[in-house]
Structure 1
Amino acid sequence: MDLPVNLPEKLYLLAYDPRRARTTQHSTLNLLLQAAALTELLRRGLLYEEGRKAVARVRTGAAEAGLDPYSAALLEQVKGARPRSWNAWIGRAKSAGRDQPVRRVRDGLADAGLITLRPHRVAGLFPVTLVTLDDPGAREALAAAVTRALTGPLSRVDPADAALTALVATGRLRSALSAGQRREYRGRIKKLAPAAGPVPRALTTALGRRMAGQAAEHAAMG
């Protein structure tokens, strides 16, 4: 079984619902994947924090080896931009078009042979892309890693699994962690969060702003 090694790819697979054959959390998944990419870059030492802002390292060497395409593209964006806060970078995730994180991460997984994409038309009119897991066991293994991070000895939790679990919990990714589990393991999640650095707190801020914006739009329409 081949498992992805980068956090955005892992998070995408956890957001996939095998029963419905599609990803969930559509309103916030782009933000979650952006946060996962930032965390991956931070974990690899490609980004660091200075004055509560994300800064790219000038010389990275082998740290970029094996980086997923979306995280690599985001790194180039950070390199070419003025320093911004973590939540500002999360909020810059595109929500539509070819450059949105969901599509870019999905396409990278397809190129890696982990999922299959098939064009389809709903009611014969509206084009969509159907996603199939080539190896459902890969998603099951990732879900098991989240469970171990929450229930196993803390000293044995892999830092990448700790970071993944913290992002899943912060993003309220229900396909991987129910609301009841988040409440039950609240204390453990706090202990895992440092593995993702400042990103979980920034993700909370970005999600709050997105939800407030959506609520304002609905109120204006009403």
Structure 2
Amino acid sequence: MIDVPDSLPARMYLLAYDLRKQKMTKGGAELGYVLRAAALTELYLDGRLGEERCKPVPGTPGDDPYGVLAQISASRPRSWRHWVRKDGRALVETVRDELVRGGWIKVSTRRTLGLFPRRRVTVKDPRVVKELWGGASSALRGRPVAHVNSYDAAAVALAAAGELKSVLPGADRRRHKRRIEELSARTGPAADAVRKAIRQRNAAAAG
């Protein structure tokens, strides 16, 4: 059995890595949405986050590794989409640094055109990504939804919502649409908030 990171945001970061191309398939704002949603989902699945009137609310006290629960506790009620979009880029950096410290990835910096710094991420052990991908693949095609590991179910829901082609190419998202909806329903509202946030961002860019 290959060891994988404990946290859902760390797992989603690694799932955004394309082993064949040896690079991240998502970055910037969209990866930030996925990682924020992963942090929210982790809290929701553990009961540390609940929902009232379609908005996240603090649940059972417990660990808050990425400070998301503290933000929600200190704020007036806001939508899931708001919390998915808030501080996404900062969380990408936090999770990346966490994975570097844990020895899961290495990051090198080079300059594009000799001017602009560009980070290159390399996964140290490709078997870790394959293990995570295998869990997501099994959740998509295997046992009844109620018996699927909750983090594997969440990985599928978040990968579909965030359009992570390294996990779910567009054809697979269409082919397994009903199954993805069932897995998403089991893992909470954050995945749908990612889908809406990306749709809104794309619409704004097109307009």
Q: Which one of 13, 28, 31 corresponds to residue 30 of structure 2? A: 28
Hey, what's the Cα distance between the residues in 2 that align with 1:138 and 1:203?
A: 25
- Aligned-residue Cα RMSD (Å) equals 1.8
Where has structure 1 moved over 3 Å in runs of 4 or more? none
Hey, what's the Cα distance between the residues in 2 that align with 1:195 and 1:142?
A: 19
Hey, what's the Cα distance between the residues in 2 that align with 1:93 and 1:211?
A: 19
User: Does 2:172 align with 1:181?
Assistant: yes
Partner residue in 2 for 1:37 = 39
Q: 1:156 Cα deviation (Å)?
A: 3.5
Partner residue in 2 for 1:126 = 116
User: Does 2:46 align with 1:52?
Assistant: no
Whether the 8 Å contact between 2:35 and 2:88 is mirrored in structure 1 is no
User: Does 2:1 align with 1:10?
Assistant: no
Partner residue in 2 for 1:208 = 199
Whether the 8 Å contact between 2:31 and 2:88 is mirrored in structure 1 is no
User: Alignment length, in residue pairs?
Assistant: 204
Partner residue in 1 for 2:102 = 112
TM-score normalised over the length of structure 2: 0.90
Hey, what's the Cα distance between the residues in 2 that align with 1:76 and 1:113?
A: 28
Partner residue in 1 for 2:189 = 198
Hey, what's the Cα distance between the residues in 2 that align with 1:83 and 1:110?
A: 34
Hey, what's the Cα distance between the residues in 1 that align with 2:5 and 2:186?
A: 18
Partner residue in 1 for 2:137 = 147
TM-score normalised over the length of structure 1: 0.84
Identity %: 39
Worse-superposed segment, 136-145 or 106-115: 106-115
* SS at 1:203 equivalent: helix
Per-residue CA shift, 1:126-153, capped at 9, x if unaligned?
A: 2122211121100000111111001111
* SS at 1:120 equivalent: strand
* SS at 1:130 equivalent: strand
Partner residue in 2 for 1:165 = 156
Q: Which one of 69, 77, 86 corresponds to residue 83 of structure 1? A: 77
Q: 1:167 Cα deviation (Å)?
A: 1.1
Whether the 8 Å contact between 1:16 and 1:24 is mirrored in structure 2 is yes
Unaligned 5+ segments in structure 2 are none
Whether the 8 Å contact between 1:160 and 1:195 is mirrored in structure 2 is no
